[in-house]
Amino acid sequence: MPNPNPAVMEFLLTRRSRPAKTLTAPVPDRNALMPILTAAARTPDHGKLEPWRFIVLERPAMQRLAALVADRGAALGMAPEQVEKARQAFADAGLAVAVISSPKQSDKVPQIEQVYSAGAVCLALVNAALASGWGANWLSGWPAYDPVITEQGLGLAPGESVAGFVHMGTETAPPPERPRPDVNALTTWVGA
């Protein structure tokens, strides 16, 4: 017989990411962040390869990245509003954890499964932060895929990529509700 945990199920059914622009100080310190990172690291990992890692970006690092994003966007000739939106995501944040997809060579575990595991870490990190009482949001955007930002700004090695930036902080406003998927329309039952 199953042994349900109604409190956890209720959390999962009602969880809601908090818009990053509504998060402010205080942010989790190292002591508060370690259990959140530990919970996220319990993500399924076929082959025990640990195909991901964390980069904790504190306020000074976020400011440095904001400047790099502005410079890089201008160098690429991007629209000023697109550059400014990406810059603000870093400039206005007190803390983010960059989840780095870092696939390992494996004859048994395809690279795509390792990338999926990194994505699962992002969601686990958001949920662990929310469960710990912090506001959290998983973002990416063009800076996550720009080689200058990822290599120079974050020090990523060849073959690594940003799975997401998980922003954390104190909520300043309740999250807006949004439409949810129609699970019946998305589900096919196969009996035989």
Mean pLDDT of 148-174: 96
Per-residue pLDDT averaged across 52-56, rounded?
A: 98
Confidence of residue 12 (pLDDT cuts 50, 70, 90): very high
pLDDT at 39: 98
> pLDDT class for 176, splitting at 50, 70, 90?
confident
Whether 121 shows a pLDDT value over 90: the answer reads yes
Question: In this predicted structure, which of 14-18, 30-34, 57-61, 159-163 has the lowest mean pLDDT?
Answer: 14-18
pLDDT at 16: 92
Binding-site positions for FMN read 15-17, 42, 46, 138-140
Whole-prediction pTM:
0.95
Given a cut of 90, is residue 147 above it in pLDDT?
Answer: yes
Which range is least confidently modeled, 40-49, 150-159, 171-180?
Answer: 171-180
The whole-angstrom separation of Cα 111 and Cα 138 is: 22
Binding-site residues sit at 15-17, 42, 46, 138-140
Looking at the chain, the whole-number percentage of residues with pLDDT higher than 90 is: 94
Q: How many CA atoms lie within 13 A of 1 on its CB side?
A: 3
Residue 173 scores a pLDDT above 90: no
pLDDT (0 to 100) of residue 167: 98
For the chain, list the domains and their CATH numbers. 19-171 (3.40.109.10)
**Per-residue pLDDT averaged across 40-60, rounded?**
96
The mean pLDDT of 156-173, rounded to a whole number, is 96
Query: Quick one: pLDDT at residue 178?
Result: 86
For 56, half-sphere exposure in the C-beta direction (CA atoms, 13 angstrom radius) is 13
Helix (H/G/I), strand (E/B), else coil: 112: helix
Residues 6+ apart with CB under 8 A from 111: 103
Is the pLDDT at 177 greater than 90? The verdict is: no
Q: How far apart are CA 91 and CA 66, in angstroms?
A: 5
